[in-house]
């Protein structure tokens, strides 16, 4: 008899949770079918891109410049010249999340082109109530004698689906 009551009790607790939070269940079910995955293994070109994009989002131009060359370096210098307009938009307590949508490597592996999404939580106390900022980014990362460097970088803001 007590086993039957426990099963009914658990059922009566779980059913309201499913009714109250159905988006979590559908998000988990659809996440298994989606092809873009959050990267868990850090290969050097991906790590260089993430460090560069994170430094740009935080307004750390010297750190971004250390990982850039070519067109990306010119872009960092231009953004640094407009410091008032391009303050870092990431809170220090939050780390941006990255999702690689496409990755293309050259035959010899010295050039990697990434198409990725960077998800940034706005900084400041009012940032808790704002939706995240979505950056659609294209980056070309080259292997040089000094390690991997971001050679070309394009950043586009995406409209977020949250209110």
Which pLDDT tens digit goes with each residue over 2-17? 444 444 454 444 444 4
One domain for residues 47 and 77: yes
Q: Tokens at residue 21, please?
A: 């939070």
Per-residue pLDDT at 6: 46
Predicted model pTM: 0.66
Residues β-bridged to residue 152: 140
Residue 105: partners with Cβ closer than 8 Å, 6 or more residues away: 111, 112, 113
Q: In the chain, which stretches have pLDDT less than 50?
A: 1-8, 10-34, 37, 39, 86
Q: Tokens at residue 28, please?
A: 């988990």
**In terms of C-beta density within 10 A (0-12 exposed, 13-18 middle, 19 or more buried), how is residue 118 classed?**
buried
One domain for residues 59 and 28: no
One domain for residues 57 and 105: yes
Task: Determine contact, residues 136/117, Cβ cutoff 8 Å.
Answer: yes
One domain for residues 25 and 61: no
pLDDT in tens, 68-92: 999 999 999 998 877 655 455 555 5
One domain for residues 1 and 53: no
The domain of 43 spans 39-158
Number of residues in the chain: 163
Per-residue pLDDT at 59: 86
One domain for residues 55 and 73: yes
Residue 85 sits at φ, ψ, to 5 deg, of: -85, -25
Q: Count of domains in the chain?
A: 2
One domain for residues 8 and 76: no
One domain for residues 28 and 107: no
Residue 118 sits at φ, ψ, to 5 deg, of: -110, 130
Q: Alpha-carbon distance 48 to 148, whole Å?
A: 6
One domain for residues 81 and 104: yes
Query: Residue 163 falls within a domain, yes or no?
Result: no
């Amino acid at each position: 008899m007590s086993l039957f009551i426990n099963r009914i009790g658990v059922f009566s607790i779980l059913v309201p949770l499913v009714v109250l939070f159905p988006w979590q269940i559908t998000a988990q079910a659809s996440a298994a079918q989606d092809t873009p995955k959050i990267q868990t293994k850090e290969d050097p070109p991906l790590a260089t891109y993430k460090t560069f994009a994170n430094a740009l989002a935080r307004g750390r131009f010297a750190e971004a410049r250390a990982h850039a060359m070519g067109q990306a370096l010119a872009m960092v210098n231009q953004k640094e010249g407009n410091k008032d307009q391009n303050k870092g938009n990431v809170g220090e307590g939050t780390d941006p999340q990255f999702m690689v949508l496409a990755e293309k490597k050259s035959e010899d592996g010295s050039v990697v082109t990434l198409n990725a999404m960077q998800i940034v939580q706005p900084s400041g106390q009012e940032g808790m109530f704002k939706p995240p900022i979505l950056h659609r980014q294209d980056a070309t990362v080259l292997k040089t004698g000094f390690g991997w460097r971001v050679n070309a970088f394009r950043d586009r803001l995406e409209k977020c689906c949250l209110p």
